Structure 1
Amino acid sequence: MLPAKQGLYDPDNEHDNCGAGFICSLKGKKTNDIIHKALDILDCLEHRGAVSADGKTGDGAGILIEIPHDFLLGQCEFKLPELHHYAVGMVFLPKKENQRSFCISVLENEVKKQGLEVLGWRKVPVDPTVVGSIAALTEPVIMQIFIGRGSESLSDHKFNIKLFCARKISEHTILQSKLSQASYFYLPSLSTHTLIYKGLLIPEDIKGYYKDLEDPAVVTRLALVHQRFSTNTFPTWDLAQPFRYMCHNGEINTYKGNFSRMQVREELLENEIFGPEIKKILPIILPGKSDSASMDMTLELLLATGRSLPEVMMMLVPEAWEKHTYMDDNKKAFYKYNSCIMEPWDGPASIPFTDGKFIGALLDRN
């Protein structure tokens, strides 16, 4: 939880500068070795972050992998559909039992309102002894929610839209409540393809904290890793990366303008895909989040409109196209057209990204 604006501190100035990387199988083969190598990358990024006075609380670290379907089949006490026919949500919840029950109830109710089915919950096995004393003060209870389509006729895109709406509405409902631990509620991921393990940890403790990552049955074709360095921010569990579709190293120096533009757009936001639900998911960018988190929320909205991940990344982080003599005319026309829809989120920054189907990375034009 971030402190209120005071003295020289203003939460609107949240930035960070970190270390990020990814690894994938070019043959599309799922292995446990990918996870080991990704965690090795993460360990090598430790110098890109900072450590608190307790020697164990980091600025935040994490890993994004594909949903380990076969592993989860053996872990869940309820039946799971085929891979990609259900979603898994990693959920951070309050420590206080009554507040945790309220958050679970809100999320389940919103899922059901969307016509989806709550298949069950799983307590994520963690080792709290590896958490630093400072991080332990705000350590959430971590669970996984499993959500079914409710109807076999529901398309992949519509299923993802309903998941998006259920999560956003739940976030707003809980953050607007008077719960003392409302800020604990957070979903690092809710997807049919990816799963995120992250926290206020140092890189070497990610695999020790999340016991799932030590199981050889957990396999993936790809992994995204991130070590956060809070240049002028307060480290929190939810601001650890990766975020749902990307992680980020650098600064978004146009952030205040980007944030203001997104606020203005919300007054005019309409989309036949969302219908009347679109007003319930506002604001798109939650208050008090970092530049990276805000960019990820914007990316998520653009993906929900049916655009592909590469297309959205080119919209958000365009090349220096205007005076590029040798650029293909069609590519230049793409940038020119989309500059009317979305202003650039300019760094300098490097941004690895994935939706579980595409994976890549780019540098901005600075």
Structure 2
Amino acid sequence: MLAHNGEINTIEGNRRWAQARSKVWKTPRFDIAEFDPVISMHGSDSQSLDNMLELMVAGGMELIQALRILVPPATQSLEFKDPDLAAFYEFHGLNSEPWDGPAGIVACDSRYAVCTLDRNGLRPARWMLTADRHFLVASEAGVWEVPTERVVRKGKLGPGEMIAIDLRRGDLLDSDAVDRINRGRAPPN
């Protein structure tokens, strides 16, 4: 589901925590106990992160929810700015440790195409949307030559930011839009 530029520096801890916590994870879609281990304890960091993302999406989460849980932005002062979004991260943080890089991650399923940076933001991720509705993400500008008059929007991601395309609706979702969607998934008080 994903491709990844960089490295997950927390990989050993992420693998161990995932394996330890898998005993309490539940989904009505399948028996998680059938997957033991739930994550590759060897192989690349991308492989293990992809294992986790696939498990969460197969278990019923949307890609933008699962990826935000696995690779959250820095949230230390979020409870003062947005208590519902803080509750979303606090609730899901009980069962998942942040996968920290430096990492730039792109992922796609049947609903979303996504790019996110970990909270350190040490990998470049530039994006562009063209008039003919092509969406490009690359570590450097100029990877694909596009005449300036065809560029509708462009930007770069900062630490912990995410950008996504809703493939069903054709909408471009910046970090704030993704947060608005996930805010509604906060547990009730």
Same fold per TM (> 0.5)? yes
Residue 256 of structure 1 is aligned with which of 12, 24, 30?
Answer: 12
Matches within 5 A, 1:1-366: 245-275=1-31, 278-324=32-78, 327-366=81-120
DSSP 3-state at the match of 1:352: strand
AA aligned to 1:328 is D
Give structure 1 stretches of 5+ with no counterpart: 1-244
Identity across aligned pairs (percent)?
39
Give structure 2 stretches of 5+ with no counterpart: 121-189
Distance in 2, Cα, partners of 1:291 & 1:246: 11
Q: TM-score with structure 2 length normalisation? A: 0.58
Please give the per-residue CA displacement for 1:232-291, whole angstroms capped at 9, x wherever unaligned. xxxxxxxxxxxxx1111111111110011112123444443214xx33322122343111
Please give the per-residue CA displacement for 1:6-63, whole angstroms capped at 9, x wherever unaligned. xxxxxxxxxxxxxxxxxxxxxxxxxxxxxxxxxxxxxxxxxxxxxxxxxxxxxxxxxx
The higher radius of gyration belongs to: 1
DSSP 3-state at the match of 1:247: strand
Q: What root-mean-square deviation, in Å, do the aligned CA atoms of Structure 1 and Structure 2 show?
A: 1.9
Counterpart residue number, 2:146:
none
Structure 1 segments (4+ residues) deviating >3 Å: 266-272, 324-327
Report the CA distance between 1:305 and its aligned residue.
1.7
Q: TM-score with structure 1 length normalisation? A: 0.31
Distance in 1, Cα, partners of 2:53 & 2:69: 9
Q: Is the 8 A contact 2:79 2:86 kept in 1?
A: no
Distance 1:360-1:271 versus aligned 2 partners, 3 A rule: closer
AA aligned to 2:63 is L
Distance in 1, Cα, partners of 2:69 & 2:75: 12
AA aligned to 1:286 is S
Distance in 2, Cα, partners of 1:327 & 1:255: 30
Q: Is the 8 A contact 1:252 1:291 kept in 2?
A: yes
Distance in 1, Cα, partners of 2:105 & 2:74: 16
DSSP 3-state at the match of 2:2: coil
AA aligned to 2:109 is D
Q: Is the 8 A contact 1:321 1:327 kept in 2?
A: no
Please give the per-residue CA displacement for 1:55-113, whole angstroms capped at 9, x wherever unaligned. xxxxxxxxxxxxxxxxxxxxxxxxxxxxxxxxxxxxxxxxxxxxxxxxxxxxxxxxxxx
Counterpart residue number, 1:14:
none
AA aligned to 2:44 is S
Distance in 1, Cα, partners of 2:26 & 2:78: 34
Distance 1:353-1:268 versus aligned 2 partners, 3 A rule: same
Distance in 1, Cα, partners of 2:27 & 2:115: 29
Distance 1:318-1:327 versus aligned 2 partners, 3 A rule: farther
Counterpart residue number, 2:159:
none
- How many residues in Structure 1 have an aligned counterpart in Structure 2? 120
Q: Is the 8 A contact 2:78 2:85 kept in 1?
A: no
Distance in 2, Cα, partners of 1:315 & 1:361: 14
Distance 1:321-1:268 versus aligned 2 partners, 3 A rule: closer
Distance in 2, Cα, partners of 1:337 & 1:269: 13
